[in-house]
Amino acid sequence: MSEMCGRFALSTPLKQLPSVLQHRMDREHQDRYAERDLIVPGEPLLAFRSDQSGPEASLMLWGLIPGWQKDPAKGPRPFNARAETVAEKPSFRGAWRHRRCLLPASCFFEKGRAIRRIDRHSFWLAGLWERWLGGDGSEVDTCTILTTTPNDLVRPLHQRMPVVIPEGLEEAWMAPVHGQQLRALEPLLAPWDPSGWEVVNKQSDGQLSLLSGLES
Measure Cα distances from 161 to 24, 27, 42, 59, 121 in Å: 28, 33, 19, 23, 19
b/e sequence 185-207, b meaning 16+ C-beta within 10 Å: beebbebbebeebbbbebeeeee
How large is the greatest C-alpha to C-alpha distance in the chain, in angstroms? 53
Alpha-carbon span 215 to 195, nearest angstrom:
5
Using DSSP's 3-state secondary structure scheme, residue 181 falls into helix
Question: What is the C-alpha R_g of the chain?
Answer: 17
Catalytic residue numbers?
5, 110
Q: Are 139 and 166 in contact (CB under 8 A)?
A: no
